[in-house]
Structure 1
């Protein structure tokens, strides 16, 4: 639909002293495709605003250009409904306050006049191709949260969301909650004085999650498909009993980590070739089971060497520090001393 534009030029605030406002209005009427153009000494005044409203009603205006002060001023005065687009042309700031008709420059008055007229030309072009936005039909959004992964991070995330009043679906691919924490004998201390390893935190977290009325736990389950957008995620979950489809508002991805592939270190450290070369994950599982033993014969080792930075800080493997290995090595050295004082 062709725009019906009305242009209202303010001659106050020093604007008429910097340019010929009547000449600007004549240019608008002669050159630009507008329904009407009016000049007023106080466009923001009650009388002029009432006149604009009357023109909108009488002429069917759906686009209005206010040429005067900055759009930062009196924005509430120039709201004429959702179906009327408004464009503000700051003749006061961009012309009157930045131009000096008395400046010692050739043709300065002509330059200022052309500047004012160009701002109106640009505004008319904007309005010609602009349409009032159509309100978007927004479907009802979900406030439910899905947490993927039920290790320590996922358990804490689920509890935090549920304690804040949100319904939570906790999805875990394993049959039990707890993630890696279930395999650990102890964990690195998280509180002062940081001298003794701590018991893994998953036991209390799992109980709190299972007891929380706002948390639904899905074990032996995987997310097979996610589509949509925040507030409207459609999620498909596969488990032993088939598929389950959920509408979710937000997703927390807490799918954990994987240990470095030790087979890449076979040539350097003998993993895979020498049966008694193990990873710190294997050491942790042994300690959690109650006894550290040599895989080759099941006997307790007499000496143990712990290799730091195996695969880390090495240009052939990972060039960066893994950050956690040193603390794990110290913790596991304590396991060895406990078993073999």
Structure 2
């Protein structure tokens, strides 16, 4: 599409004093023949914005290029109705990190302006993806979290479908004796407020409740999820079996791709007997609903305590879990399971996982709080009772420190760092031996009851729950502990499936008060999702983005890279392998664009041609000038802010680098590397987010994918007769801006060892 472009160069912030503004205007006018080119200070001011709007009206502009401060600033001011806006960073990336009035500084600014105008000229006129959507919300789970999420969404005016697998609502709150209030003074307990919540849900005309039901399957996409709800029954076992078979096959394929040996089958698998089951009926009772978003509040189950046989669990009836202790306390006086005698002493064992590799033996703040709470049960039930808490790390987050202090002040509560070594029959009670890790001595106690702090296992560990009909399978991606795998800091509620939000203990261990707050947050995210999807906009992290992937399908080779590499399951597949995009599932990361070898996936404001043309717009001096050129592709989420911070802190680095921001480093296409090298660019650096188990990538694995692809670039370099060291990949956290000068300068020193790119001048 041909655009009439207006260029507006900011001379404020020291830009006018550091650069030759007339020369910059000559680049816009002479090289690009733009419709309007003006220079003035502080274009973000209201009167200057009026000038831009007037020019757009008088000259029929379709795009404007603002050259000045970082595009991360003044976003609202530089948003014009009906106009494409492209920003060029002359402040943080040029004048604040380079010496003023230097030839190389001027060349840097001119190249950034060339790239900005080129990018603006490549925008496509494409309307957002808008389809009729359903704004109802599905809530899975009828415990404290699910009930709260349903109420909050219904109060906001949205239809809610609440699905609970048990015959009654309430979940664990029905079985707990007392809960934390989450309110000042934070040192008291209260009855679970669950009955009032159940009554409110049942009375609300916008909430339809399904008890004794499960979600059989979910198909479609945000705004258009089709949900089949079935009464609970034996079908769930067959479904879970199929899911486990799918998951095992997936893990085997991943291991094969990594070159790892296939895991050996267990003895149970080797001697497994095939049991004939009745076939799944073709007709069964169900209810079909369409929703726009899903809140997954399926909750948790206690960890299997049989792994604590060494501490007497299963051998001695008076060695119990914290869940069993809760049930004993709910009956009134706390009595020993073995003989019904009233308990006068209890040992609580916390943080059982510190020296073990068992995957579920993780400690949490919730476990510590529960032990403190149950110690108070004993003291209230029996004023002469004694509670012993042994822990490795005592955690009482936030205001719960006040409850911890209250229990510390209780003369009948004893707290000590210690590791349990054994539990044995002590005649009148149980003999517990604990190694005091602070003093290095062993402590022997005789107690009536030993309570083990077991972990909270999210229900997503056992089955898919949501049962998605996605090409990438029925499960939500989870972390090693089975909790939802999300960008924990920036997007805690979001799962890797757009429109599905986790809340409560399926997301992380929480107490009831935290679950209520978490449910409110997840309900708000679900509402945000249905509203933005109805406008054809992305939800997160590029909230409000109206672009979506467009595929030139006739050139598709069915390689399946886009469907396999998308972290969010945005693509399904036809039987022949042709991708089927679901625009409302898309996060707009453009990883699929980088994965496509045929370069047939594009966005209206981000395409292979657009970025490639920006690279080609860089002015590459001939080899005799000894001015190398380096292109640095950077992630817009972490690396770009870090580079901005380097400029704000006036950190100096080589003027020969040109930063090109990408939506995610994972959307880098190999053709850009070839374009840059064939253009005569001397080196290419990629700077993305940290990846690994504790990843910081907003798009989960984009940075990791980029590093993997660059590991296979040697063939392209050999074809061009170039050294592999000309390409370097780095991981950078958003707060590591101070390392940027060293990263750049070290790379420049490496390039200095080689001859200039032989393709200069071609």
Question: Quick one: distance in 2 between partners of 1:169 and 1:302?
Answer: 45
* Aligned partners of 1:49 and 1:77 also within 8 Å: no
Q: Secondary structure at the match of 1:272?
A: coil
Partner of 1:126: 119
Partner of 2:376: 330
Matches within 5 A, 1:1-341: 3=2, 19=22, 27-28=30-31, 52-53=59-60, 82=82, 121-122=114-115, 125-128=118-121, 130-184=122-176, 186-188=177-179, 190=181, 197-240=189-232, 242-268=285-311, 270-289=312-331, 294-296=336-338, 299-301=339-341, 303-310=343-350, 312=352, 314-316=354-356, 317-320=361-364, 322-323=367-368, 324-335=370-381
Is 278-287 or 207-216 further displaced after alignment?
Answer: 278-287
1:51-82 residue CA offsets vs partner (Å, 9 max, x unmatched):
634xx8xxxxxx66779999999x99997x95
Q: Secondary structure at the match of 1:308?
A: strand
Task: Name stretches of at least 5 consecutive residues in structure 2 with no aligned partner.
Answer: 41-50, 95-99, 233-283, 385-762
1:273, distance to aligned residue in structure 2 (A): 1.1
Q: Secondary structure at the match of 2:287?
A: strand
Question: Quick one: distance in 1 between partners of 2:330 and 2:288?
Answer: 38
Structure 1 length normalisation: TM-score?
A: 0.64
Question: Quick one: distance in 2 between partners of 1:293 and 1:116?
Answer: 78
Question: Quick one: distance in 1 between partners of 2:209 and 2:309?
Answer: 40
* Aligned partners of 1:276 and 1:294 also within 8 Å: yes
* Aligned partners of 2:162 and 2:208 also within 8 Å: yes
1:209, distance to aligned residue in structure 2 (A): 1.6
Question: Quick one: distance in 1 between partners of 2:287 and 2:316?
Answer: 46
Task: Name stretches of at least 5 consecutive residues in structure 1 with no aligned partner.
Answer: 57-62, 96-100
Say if 1:249 and 1:336 are closer, same or farther in 2 by CA, change over 3 A.
Answer: farther
* Aligned partners of 1:236 and 1:245 also within 8 Å: yes
Give the aligned CA root-mean-square deviation in angstroms: 5.1
Is 165-174 or 234-243 further displaced after alignment?
Answer: 234-243
* Aligned partners of 1:148 and 1:170 also within 8 Å: yes
* Aligned partners of 1:25 and 1:37 also within 8 Å: no
Question: Quick one: distance in 2 between partners of 1:221 and 1:238?
Answer: 5
Question: Quick one: distance in 1 between partners of 2:373 and 2:184?
Answer: 15
1:168, distance to aligned residue in structure 2 (A): 1.8
Question: Quick one: distance in 2 between partners of 1:136 and 1:149?
Answer: 34
Question: Quick one: distance in 2 between partners of 1:67 and 1:192?
Answer: 51
* Aligned partners of 1:226 and 1:234 also within 8 Å: yes
Say if 1:52 and 1:183 are closer, same or farther in 2 by CA, change over 3 A.
Answer: closer
Q: Secondary structure at the match of 1:209?
A: helix
Say if 1:292 and 1:319 are closer, same or farther in 2 by CA, change over 3 A.
Answer: closer
1:163-195 residue CA offsets vs partner (Å, 9 max, x unmatched):
3322222211111111112123x3135266777
Greater Cα radius of gyration, structure 1 or 2: 1
